[in-house]
Amino acid sequence: MTDETLRFAYYPGCSLNSTAKEYDLSTRAVARAIGVELVEVPDWNCCGASSAHTVDPFLAFALPARVLVQAEEMGLDVLAPCAACYGRLVAARAEAARHPDYARRLEKATGRRFRGTARILNVLELLGDERVAAAVAGAVTRPLEGLKVAPYYGCLLVRPPKLTRFDDPERPVTMDRVLQAIGATPVDHPFQTECCGASLGISRTDLVVELAGRIVGAAKLAGAEAVAVTCPLCQTNLDSRQEAAAARLGEGLGLPVYYITQLVGLALGVPPARLGLRRHLVDGLGLLRQKKLA
């Protein structure tokens, strides 16, 4: 892309290794296509996700901190595509400042010293970066013309705003710009940063069916044909609970829920097979084929 290659410590997190493999595939594919180098954190562990912080603050700090320490050792900033991971990494850095003893306890337990020097980026922050955005715009070979996509940012990229300092917490625009850059049409809808229910998807399915219906329903009402997300929990909830939500609402939904990187990859000419587009529960390929985009 530009004179200097962008390199990041890549933290896929647990979900990108399993339920969200397509997010991993597409993120790596996009990075390759635009010349961003991703170096996987060698021995990463779970960030504690939506559970650790509910039982113990030190645990909630130490799990993501162990990942950050490794990035610091690599001398790189961290790219965390999963919004939940991103949120926990950002929170860990803030907590370290508030509790000086946490770093000491982490060192006692693991022998690793946390410094808090690595910057943490989410996927939209990367795609919104001036240089990256220019590279993407220049590399689009298959603009997603006519594809009406509802951007869905979810919670943890934009909140809490004091920690993430990314975009506007109520009316974010970065994903809209990315969608425009790849030729798709972003569709405005009122629930772009409304919560999907996160890990309640397993423990309180009933609640998530309600929330998923609200979000996908609003997107559909606004005229969207698909939803774009940046978080495995969001994707899983909106994708896997959509059928039940539609049943409850008594209306058809059927909006495929794509990772933004899948759409960018597609526009950059990455073969659909290498973007995991078959892995969706709400068929992800049919719409694209119908639009002659895949």
Binding site for other proteins (CB under 8 A): 14-15, 17-21, 43-46, 48-60, 62-63, 66, 98, 105-106, 108-112, 155-156, 158-161, 168-171, 190-191, 193-195, 197-200, 202-205, 207, 210-211, 214, 218, 221, 240, 278-281
Q: How far apart are CA 275 and CA 277, in angstroms?
A: 5
**Closer to other proteins by Cβ: residue 104 or 119:** 104
Say if CB 81 and CB 40 are below 8 A apart. no
Strand partners, 123: none
Q: How far apart are CA 94 and CA 116, in angstroms?
A: 9
The number of beta carbons lying within 10 Å of the beta carbon of residue 4 is 7
Q: How far is the CB of 105 from other proteins (least distance, A)?
A: 5
**Closer to other proteins by Cβ: residue 7 or 279:** 279
What does DSSP say about strands 226-229 and 6-10: parallel, antiparallel, or unpaired?
unpaired
The number of beta carbons lying within 10 Å of the beta carbon of residue 45 is 15
Q: How far is the CB of 283 from other proteins (least distance, A)?
A: 11
Q: How far apart are the first and last CA of the chain?
A: 26
**Closer to other proteins by Cβ: residue 101 or 145:** 101
Q: How far is the CB of 169 from other proteins (least distance, A)?
A: 5
**Closer to other proteins by Cβ: residue 19 or 185:** 19
Q: How far is the CB of 99 from other proteins (least distance, A)?
A: 9
**Closer to other proteins by Cβ: residue 144 or 235:** 235
**Alpha carbon separation from 173 to 13, 27, 167 (Å, rounded):** 26, 20, 7
Q: How far is the CB of 157 from other proteins (least distance, A)?
A: 11
